[in-house]
Chains A and B, each alone.
Chain A
Amino acid sequence: MKVAYFSPMPPEQTGIADYSALLLPALRERVDVTVVRRGSRRASRGTDVALYHVGNNPDAHAWIVDAMRRRPGVVVLHDFVVHHLVAGMTVGRRDGHGYLDAMEREHGVVGRLLAHGVLDKRIPPLWEARPADFPLALFVLEHATGVIVHSRYVGDHVRAAGYTGPLSLVPHPAWPVPEITPHALAPGPVVGCFGVVNASKRIPELLQATATVRGTHPELTLLLVGPTAPRFDLERRLQRLGLADAGLVREQWVDERRLWELMAASTVVVNLRHPTMGETSGSVVRGLSLGKPLVVSDVGWFSELPDDVALKIPPDEDEVPTLTAALELLASREDVRVQMGAKAAQLARREHDVERVADLYLAALEGAAGGAAVDDAVLREVSQAAADVGISADTAEATEIARRLAEVELG
């Protein structure tokens, strides 16, 4: 079977490019894969099935959705909310009507009116202000012959959006842990947080909780790794909470090797976010591989992590005290950290092993490539047999046959 593989690839600096670089060698051991050159409009001749990696970033994924519109295929939906992608492919191309249509198709007349408001600059862009309320996933799903998701959360949303085709839940693959020379960043426990520093990553809440915990654990250090988002006032917040001079290690963008070193030096990995776009986190998966206890937001994919590997913080009015209590616990209880870390490493090996992930990809691709032909053959034979004994459409008997077929996902 020949697979045309559409994805951002290194050296593009996206999580999905890193993901594909990890997955492809294992997938190539199982099936004939051709990586399609960025910007190509279609798969090459002889392709049995096309695989499209779709995320919310239009710079990285618009060309992929363009290709998918020419040839439907299996979609790996990395984010459920793709409003920013859709905006980039419509408004960003001066196609206001396309944006109006996309909003109306999924959100009715109200959606169209809101889209008018955006185009007329009467209201802030929805992809910045309220993307989770208007995910626009059908823009992508309507061209999917199969969908791969990384979480039940996204799978449920895909079904709720009306997609009825084959849906496969495939875990995010885990990277092998590189050889790292361990070195201590600070004498006490280190709380590591990796990724863009902004409000949706709950950095204000993390800073508040850290400042409180340092009252009882002055040896605790917060490690913030990642660029600061524009308009996010990190320095002022650090000064106000007394973290500017002590208790903080700050690194901007780091390369892969440094990322692993810093994460290995962390006692705990914190990865918070709200709202979620349905995404997974490469940092959390790396943390699992390293056997780190995790603190995450109780949202989306993160909620599905087992309770014995991650402390989950609901993004509600008690978020800061709950987060504080979690950090207190992990700062003071080495036995809990060791136990959670061991479970995390087990989970990475059991669920996120790249060979297992590649097997699941293969199952999804094989199901999609010939699935329609098989469904047709089954329906043809069953309906012929029913007709032979006088069962016609729109009868109770035909309805029962259809129901039984649906129960076992045949036809």
Chain B
Amino acid sequence: MRLAVLRPQVPFARGGAEIFTDTLVDELRARGHEADLVSMPFKWYPGARVLTQAFLWRMLDLEEADGRTIDVVVPTKFPSYLVRHRDKRVWLVHQFRQAYELDRTELAQFGSSPEDRALRRKVQELDRIALGEATRLFATSRNVAGRIEASTGLAAEVLPHPPQELDYRCQGYGDFVLSVNRLDRAKRIDLLLEAVARDAALDVVIAGDGPDRSRLEQLAHDRGLNGRARFAGRVSEGELADLYARCLAVYYAPVDEDYGMVPLEAFLAEKPVLTTTDAGGPLEVVADGSTGLVVTPDAAEIASALGWLREHRDEAASYGRAGKAIASEVTWDRAIAKLLA
């Protein structure tokens, strides 16, 4: 089968969606399919630019390439699903969240002017039209599927995908808590730092980079964490696998995350995950007292929970092993079989 995986690309940015789409292409090829990545830059500001950039996808002709038919297109993010194709199988990582649940939050893009309000509605209308054209509609998590249904009335099939391939292993339960995230406000690394400030025995390693880094580093300095919070920046795959292998537990508490690969990665290293009651997608795999701990998004609660894991390493290991059993069920074989069925 000849497939095009579609990915909007913010130049110079790389995150979970990029890893997912790159891996999907590789996995399709490994199964004998002819697959390629079709990518276009995406900019969502100022003003109506979000719509005109989205419209670029509508102008593409991906019915065939170089005289040969493209059997299936697989759009993965807004606005790639605006593309026209007779077999459009959307596998949605997320919609344009600023038009939905992030509206009127501190992460909002659209203001209160009539033009901004109308712009937001136009984005929603695009979703309704373009997702409604899909021959199959998949969502990477129940959380994403729920948002699609709430915003468009369309029912999406839940189709999770495995995390990136690393040398996952467990080398015990060390003295530090690991955070793996792009550093932006929605990931709430600041809550973790505040928790560390409350427990002098807590150490954290913060892997990842992003626009919130300097603020977070300043916060760590202000709280006098004095080396107990180490900002590792963007780490190599080998370093990341090593951090997963040695950490006590993984902190992952974004606001209403779509799905989140980090819990599955932590589980594959047999590590428990600490998340929050409002984290969204992670709650589909992190169960309190089973594969990790779930607390309210409060620094004291987080400090207490991490302290408990430090004092109960047998339970932490047990949670990690239970998580591994869940993560091991999410395979590319199953995902691709369903995508192409």
Q: Which residues of A contact B (CB under 8 A)?
A: 1, 48-49, 363, 366-371, 373-374, 377-378, 381-382, 385, 400-401, 404-405, 407-410
6 contacts between A and B (CB under 8 A): A363-B124, A371-B118, A374-B122, A404-B59, A408-B130, A410-B126
Q: Which residues of B contact A (CB under 8 A)?
A: 47-49, 51-52, 55, 58-59, 82, 84, 112-122, 124-126, 129-130
With A401-B59, A407-B58 given, is the CB distance from A370 to B52 under 8 Å?
no
A408 in contact with B55 (CB, 8 Å): yes
Query: Who on chain B is nearest to A364 by CB?
Result: B121
With A366-B120, A374-B122, A409-B125 given, is the CB distance from A382 to B55 under 8 Å?
yes
B117 in contact with A370 (CB, 8 Å): yes
B55 in contact with A373 (CB, 8 Å): no
B48 in contact with A374 (CB, 8 Å): yes
Q: Taking chain B's interface residues, is the majority helix, strand, or loop, or is none over half, making it mixed?
A: helix
Residues of A within 8 A of B112 (CB): 1
B122 in contact with A367 (CB, 8 Å): yes
A405 CA to B57 CA in the complex, in Å? 11
Beyond known contacts A371-B118, A404-B58: 6 more, CB 8 A cutoff:
A373-B115, A374-B118, A377-B48, A381-B52, A401-B59, A405-B58
B55 in contact with A367 (CB, 8 Å): no
B121 in contact with A405 (CB, 8 Å): no
Query: Who on chain A is nearest to B79 by CB?
Result: A408
Residues of B within 8 A of A370 (CB): 113-119
A382 in contact with B121 (CB, 8 Å): no
B55 in contact with A404 (CB, 8 Å): yes
Query: Who on chain B is nearest to A397 by CB?
Result: B59
With A374-B48, A377-B47, A381-B49 given, is the CB distance from A410 to B55 under 8 Å?
yes
Q: How far is the CB of A199 from chain B (nearest CB, A)?
A: 39
Q: How far is the CB of A311 from chain B (nearest CB, A)?
A: 26
Q: How far is the CB of B53 from chain A (nearest CB, A)?
A: 10
A377 CA to B52 CA in the complex, in Å? 9
A370 CA to B126 CA in the complex, in Å? 16
Q: Which of A1, A48, A381, A404 contacts B48 (CB 8 A)?
A: A381
Residues of A within 8 A of B119 (CB): 370, 374
Residues of A within 8 A of B115 (CB): 370, 373-374, 377
Query: Who on chain B is nearest to A400 by CB?
Result: B59
Q: Which of A371, A378, A410 contacts B121 (CB 8 A)?
A: A371
With A363-B121, A377-B47, A381-B48 given, is the CB distance from A48 to B55 under 8 Å?
no
Query: Who on chain A is nearest to B60 by CB?
Result: A404
Residues of A within 8 A of B113 (CB): 370
Q: How far is the CB of B106 from chain A (nearest CB, A)?
A: 20
B129 in contact with A371 (CB, 8 Å): no
Q: How far is the CB of B51 from chain A (nearest CB, A)?
A: 5
Residues of B within 8 A of A381 (CB): 48-49, 52
Q: How far is the CB of A329 from chain B (nearest CB, A)?
A: 32
A368 CA to B117 CA in the complex, in Å? 10
Residues of A within 8 A of B58 (CB): 404-405, 407-408
A374 in contact with B55 (CB, 8 Å): no
A366 CA to B49 CA in the complex, in Å? 19
Q: Which of A366, A378, A408 has the most CB of B within 10 A?
A: A408
With A1-B114, A404-B59 given, is the CB distance from A378 to B48 under 8 Å?
yes
